[in-house]
Amino acid sequence: MDLITEPLGYAFFRSGLAVSVLVGLLCGLIGVYVVLRHMSYIGHGLSHAVFGGAVVAYVASVDFYLGAGAWGFAAALIINWVSRRRRIGADAAIGIVTTASFALGVALISKTRSFTTNFEAALFGNILGVTLLDLAVVAVVTIAVSVFITLFYKQLLFMTFDPEVAPIFGMRTGRVDVLFALALAATIVASINVVGVTLIAATLIIPATTARLLTDSFGRMLILSALLGATAGAVGMYLSYWQDVSSGATIVLLEAAIFVLAFVWTSVGRHRSAWAAAPVEIVHGRPQVFDDL
Amino acid sequence: MTTDLRDVRALRGPSSPLVRFENVSASYGGPAVLEDIELELPRGGLIGIVGPSGAGKTTLLRAMVGQVPRLRGRVLVDDRDARSGNPARVGWVPQLETVDWDFPATVREVVLMGRWSRSPWRPWMTGGDRTEADRVRDRLGIGGLGARQIRELSGGQQQRVFLARALIADPVLLLLDEPTSGVDIRTRDEVLHLLADLNSQGVTIVLTTHELNSVAAHLPHVVCINRRVIAEGDPDEVFTAPILNATYAADLRVVRQDGSVLVADAAPHRLRDALRHQHDGYEHAHHEHDGMPHQHALHEHDGAAHEHLPSP
A150 interaction partners in chain B (CB closer than 8 Å): 123
Q: What is the pLDDT of residue B280?
A: 59
> Does residue A218 belong to the interface with chain B, where contact is any CB pair within 8 Å?
yes
Percent of chain B at pLDDT > 70 equals: 80
CA–chain centroid gap for A137, Å, is 17
Q: Give residue A290's pLDDT.
A: 44
Among chain B residues, the shortest Cα distance to A218 is held by: B104
For the segment B41-66, what is each residue's pLDDT rounded down to a tens digit?
Answer: 999 999 999 999 989 999 999 999 98
Residue A120 is predicted with a pLDDT of 66
pLDDT of residue A21: 95
- The pLDDT score that the predictor gives to residue B297 is 35
Distance of CA A41 to the CA centre of its chain: 10
Say yes or no to pLDDT of B133 above 50: yes
Mean pLDDT of B267-292: 59
For residues B4-31, give the mean pLDDT: 72
- In this prediction, residue B300 has a pLDDT band, given cuts at 50, 70 and 90, of very low
Please report the pLDDT score of residue A2 as a whole number. 78
Query: Which residues of chain B make contact with A212, given a CB cutoff of 8 A?
Result: 104
Under 8 Å between Cβ of A188 and A237:
no
- Residue B220 gets which letter from DSSP? S
Which residue, among B70, B100, B162, would best test binding to A if mutated, counting the most A CBs under 10 Å from its CB? Answer: B100
Over 80: is that where the pLDDT of B306 sits?
Answer: no
Does residue B10 register a pLDDT over 50?
Answer: no
Cα separation, A280 vs A293, whole angstroms: 15
Question: For residues A184 and A237, is the Cβ–Cβ distance under 8 A?
Answer: no
Contacts of B67 in chain A (CB under 8 A): 167-168
Lowest mean pLDDT, pick from A89-93, A105-109, B15-19, B238-242: A89-93
Q: How confident is the model at residue B307 (pLDDT cuts 50, 70, 90)?
A: very low
pLDDT of residue B84 exceeding 70: yes
Pairs of residues, one from chain A and one from chain B, whose beta carbons lie less than 8 Å apart? 73
ipTM reported for the complex, 2 dp: 0.79
* Exposed / middle / buried, residue B282 (Cβ in 10 Å: 0-12, 13-18, 19+): exposed
Residues in CB range of B230: below 8 A, 6 or more apart: B51, B224, B243, B246, B247
Q: Which one-letter amino acid corresponds to residue A34?
A: V
For residue B90, pLDDT beyond 50: yes
pLDDT at residue B2 tops 80 = no
A97 by DSSP, 3-state: which?
Answer: helix
Q: Which of A143-157, B115-129, B171-185 has the lowest mean pLDDT?
A: B115-129
Nearest CA to B207 out of B169, B251, B174, B161 is that of: B174
CA distance B42 to A58: 65
User: What is the per-residue burial (b if ≥16 Cβ within 10 Å, else e) of A132-160?
Assistant: eebbebbeebbebbbebbeebbbbbbbbb
Query: Which one of A181-185, A221-225, B9-13, B287-291 scores highest in mean pLDDT?
Result: A221-225
Under a CB-based contact definition with an 8 Å cutoff, are residues A236 and A194 in contact? no
Residues on chain B bordering chain A, Cβ-to-Cβ distance under 8 angstroms:
28, 65, 67, 90, 92, 94, 98-100, 103-106, 109-110, 113-114, 116-117, 119-123, 149, 152-154, 157, 169
Q: What pLDDT is attached to residue A269? A: 76
Q: Can you give the pLDDT of all 293 residues of chain A as single tens digits?
A: 677 888 888 888 999 999 999 999 999 999 999 999 888 887 788 888 888 888 888 888 888 888 888 888 888 888 777 766 656 677 777 788 888 888 887 887 777 766 554 566 666 677 777 888 889 999 999 999 999 999 999 999 999 999 888 988 888 888 888 899 889 989 988 888 778 877 888 999 999 999 999 998 899 999 999 999 999 999 999 999 998 888 888 999 999 999 999 999 998 877 666 655 554 444 444 444 444 43
Q: Give the closest of A165, A172, A220 to B94, CB-based.
A: A165
Read off the pLDDT of each residue in B70-90 and give the average, rounded to a whole number.
83
Task: Tell me the H-state helices in B27-80.
Answer: 57-64
Inter-chain residue contact A157 with B113, CB threshold 8 Å:
yes
Distances (CA, A) of A179 to A3, A159, A191, A258, B255: 42, 13, 18, 31, 57
Please judge whether A161 and B113 are an interchain contact, meaning their C-beta atoms are less than 8 angstroms apart: yes
Given pLDDT bands bounded at 50, 70 and 90, which one contains residue B1? very low
With cut-offs at 50, 70 and 90, classify the pLDDT of residue B4. low
Number of helices and strands in chain A (H, E): 12, 2
Residue B40 pairs with which residues in a beta bridge?
A: B20
* Per-chain mean pLDDT for chain B: 80
